[in-house]
Amino acid sequence: MAILDNLGKYRNTGLLLLRLGLGIMMMTHGLPKIMGGPDKWAAIGGSMKVIGIDFIPAFWGFMAAVSEGFGGFLLLLGLFFRPVNILLVFTMMIAALVHFSKGEGLSGASHAIELGIVFLSLIFIGPGKYSVDKK
């Protein structure tokens, strides 16, 4: 369609919208986990057992919460963009494995897998022109 052919020149606007939407949604997932305190962090960090890590669960849970909550904010800004996306890919990988370990199958793990693919793709794409990390 001719009307859609010119949208390619708005690539950076599309990346900004993607960063804003994903950043806000990750913050809404992560901030309540951060505020949950050590008991909540330990419960979340217990998920690391799926890859054989069963020590200091509160630390791992806190790291997952910060990756989602504060990482979502950094994603929104486009600051430390690639490192944040690496952390989010790892967090989504663990989330997907937890869903599989609970027997929920692909339908249970699909959201984490989809987000993981988006974050992995963003590592290669970069934050775009409208970001603090602009290149």
Q: Is residue 65 part of a domain?
A: yes
pLDDT in the model for residue 130:
94
Q: What is the pLDDT of residue 135?
A: 61
Closest CA to 120 of 70, 86, 91, 81: 86
Asked if the structure places residue 6 within a domain, the reply is no
In a domain, 54, yes or no: yes
pTM of the entire structure? 0.93
Q: Give the domain extent around 63.
A: 12-125
Q: Does 18 fall in a domain?
A: yes
- Does residue 135 sit within a domain? no
**Total domains, the chain:** 1
In a domain, 131, yes or no: no
Whether residue 89 lies inside any domain: the answer is yes
Which of the residues in the chain have pLDDT under 70? 1, 135
The answer to whether position 4 is within a domain reads no
Under DSSP, the state recorded for 60 is: H
